[in-house]
Amino acid sequence: MIQATTLTKRFGKTTALDSLTATVPEGVVYGLIGSNGAGKSTLLRLIAGIYRAEAGELTIGGEPVWENPRIKAQIALIPDELYFLPQANLSTMARLYRNSFPGFDQARLNELIELFGLNPYANLNTFSKGMRRQAAIILALSRRPRWLLMDEVFDGLDPIMRNLVRKLIYTDVIDRRATAVISSHSLRELEDTCDQLALLHQGGIIFESEMADLNTQLFKLQVAFGADSPPSLDAALFAPAQLNLVNFSSLGRVANLIVRGDREAAVAALDVLTPSPALVEVLPLTLEEVFLFEMEAIGYHFGEVLDK
């Protein structure tokens, strides 16, 4: 289990992580989403033992990661900005990995190279962005890590490769009970991939949730009124229902409510409204909608600017 407790990391005067506390259980795919500069990459580097926190504690399996070769040997980080040796090919990089990482599996490397169809002797500088990312994934997975940290891992990959990478991650998680922590702005990818999710903003976690719970705890109520509908629908109309309203919008006689809480209870609460809704429908939210509504709820939105 990765345990971050009141973790604080500063870069000069900028606080990248501010007393962040999070828990990543073993054997899951853990997604990190957040605004730009929320601290996702910083958190991944702290987990990888690259950065040292100014305050707080970060442990894996109860042991601190910083300068802990035994733990670091079980971690593989695929950063957003990849690094390869100058003029290196996959074979050269494999040498570096063999020399640096205990448990590097050459057979696995060969197998993955064949699977991805990359030339192990081609200069990595000649690879496209997606191929370079494939190379990084191959090298990371060949280490058979227990903790796989991936920053924007799907960036640059075509849909087929994304599926392949997803499948490989699942295989490691299921077969070896590895844990994958993935940060991405591609919420669609994470929605399909993750078991758990954390939303970061300004160095802190807004919420941490299992994906299944995420779709039930935050949902959309589409409420349509009949002929007795008020001329204009507004949030005040729903006040008697005492909903935990995250967002409200309306169009004609139809109101869209983003509500946090229990679905049935929320639907039942609408019975107190006058006039009564003609139709109430509960709709699941996409991860992107969840992200947007949650961020908007904490004031991170540019809707007014965009509307102009």
Partner 1 sequence: MSEVTPTRKALFSVGLYREGLAQLKLPALLLGIVTVVLNALIPIVGWLSDSGNPFDGQSIEMIGLVGFAILYVYVAPIVLSLRLFNFGNARNRSDFYHGLPPTRVSLWLSFLAAIASWLVGTVVVAIGVSTGLYALMGAHIVLASIPIMIAFLGCGALYLCVATALAMTVTGTLLSNIVVTILIVCFPRYVSSLFASTVAAGVPNLPSSQVGLFNLRLSNTLFMLPSVFSESNIAGGAIARADNMLYTLALTVVLGAVGLWLFVHRRSEDADKSAPSRSMQLVYRVCVALVPALGIVATVSLNTGTLYVLSYAELWPIIILLGTLSAIAFCVFELLTTKSWKSLARALPSFGLVIAITWAFWAVAALDVRYETGFRPGADDIAWVRVIDTSYYHTDGSGEIFWDSEGEEESENNVDYAELVLSRTRISDSAVLSAIARQLAGKDTDRWSSVYDSDANYSLVEIKTKGGRSERRLLVESDSEGQSSPFALALIDSPELFDAILSLPTEKEVVSIQGIFLVPGQMVSGSAKATQLTQETWANIVAEYQTLDTQERYGLLFATRPLPEKSNETTSLAQLNNFNLTISSTQGLSNLKIDLQVNDEYLPQTTEFLSRKARDQIVAGLASPQSLVQENNVLAVYETQQLTNNNASKDPGGDALGSDAGESGEALISLRVPFQGEADDRYDFYVVSRKAYLQGLDIFGAALARDFDTEARYVAELTLNNPDRDAEEMEMCSLVWSISDAEAQRLLALGK
79 or 261: whose CB is closer to partner 1?
Answer: 79
Among 100-108, 206-214, 250-258, 272-280, the segment contacting partner 1 (CB under 8 A): 100-108
Rounded distance between C-alpha atoms, residue 63 and residue 136, angstroms:
27
Interface with partner 1, residue 83, by CB under 8 A: yes
Of 101, 127, 154, 248, the one binding partner 1 (CB under 8 A) is 101
Quote the longest CA-to-CA distance of the chain: 75
Task: Name which of 51 and 248 has its Cβ closer to partner 1.
Answer: 51
Residue 133 interacting with partner 1 (CB under 8 A): no
Q: Which residue has the tokens 């990765």?
A: 2
Question: Would you count residue 98 as binding partner 1 (CB under 8 A)?
Answer: yes
Does the protein bind partner 1 through residue 51 (CB under 8 A)?
yes
**C-alpha pair distances (Å), 35 with each of 146, 151, 195, 217, 300:** 28, 14, 20, 21, 8
Does residue 77 touch partner 1 according to CB under 8 A? Answer: yes
Q: Name the β-bridge partners of 201.
A: 204
Segment interacting with partner 1, rule: CB under 8 A, options 102-110, 199-207, 282-290, 294-302: 102-110
Is 50 or 122 the residue whose CB approaches partner 1 more closely? Answer: 50
Distance CA 69, CA 102 (A): 10
Long-range contacts (CB closer than 8 Å, 24 or more residues apart) made by 300-308: 300/35, 300/201
Q: Are 56 and 82 in contact (CB under 8 A)?
A: no
- Helices 129-141 and 90-100 pack at an angle, to 10 degrees, of 30
Q: Which two tokens stand for residue 218?
A: 């935050």
* Binding-residue pattern over the window 1 to 40 for partner 1, x denoting contact by CB under 8 A: ----------x-----------------------------
Q: Is residue 100 a contact residue for partner 1 (CB under 8 A)?
A: yes
Between vectors from CA 208 to CA 24 and to CA 210, what angle results, nearest 5°? 80
Contact 225, 253 (CB under 8 A): yes
Regarding 111 and contact with partner 1 (CB under 8 A), the answer is no
Among 19, 21, 35, 50, interactor with partner 1 by CB under 8 A: 50
| Interface residue with partner 1, options 27, 56, 61, 79 (CB under 8 A) | 79
Tell me which residues touch partner 1 (CB under 8 A): 11, 45, 48-52, 67-70, 72-73, 75, 77, 79, 81-83, 85, 95-106
